[in-house]
Amino acid sequence: MKLRIFESISVDGYFTDRQGAIAWAHSGREDPEFGAWVASNASGGGILLFGRVTYQMMEAFWPTPAAAAQMPEVARGMNAARKLVASRTIKPTWVNTRLIEGDLIESVRALKAEGDRSITVLGSGSVAAQLGEAGLVDEYQFVVLPVALGAGRTVFTKGAILRLVEHRAFRCGNVVLTYAAQS
In this prediction, residue 28 carries a pLDDT of: 67
Query: What length does the chain have?
Result: 183
In this prediction, residue 174 carries a pLDDT of: 93
* CA gap 177, 61 in Å, rounded: 26
In this prediction, residue 12 carries a pLDDT of: 94
Concatenating the DSSP letter of every residue in 26-59 gives: G-S---HHHHHHHHHHHT--SEEEEEHHHHHHHH
- Tens of each residue's pLDDT in the chain, 183 residues: 899 999 999 999 999 999 988 888 877 677 889 888 888 877 767 899 999 999 999 999 999 999 999 989 889 999 999 999 999 899 999 999 999 988 999 999 999 988 778 999 998 888 999 999 999 999 999 999 999 999 999 888 777 889 999 999 999 999 999 999 886
According to CATH, the superfamily of the domain at 28-181 is Dihydrofolate Reductase, subunit A (3.40.430.10)
Q: CA end-to-end span of the chain, whole Å?
A: 16
Strand arrangement, sheet containing 119-122: 97-99, 82-86, 47-51, 119-122, 3-10, 139-145, 175-181, 162-169
Sign of CA pseudo-dihedral 3, 97, 55, 133: negative
125-135: pLDDT as tens digits: 889 999 999 99
Task: Give, for 165, the enclosing helix (H) or strand (E).
Answer: strand 162-169
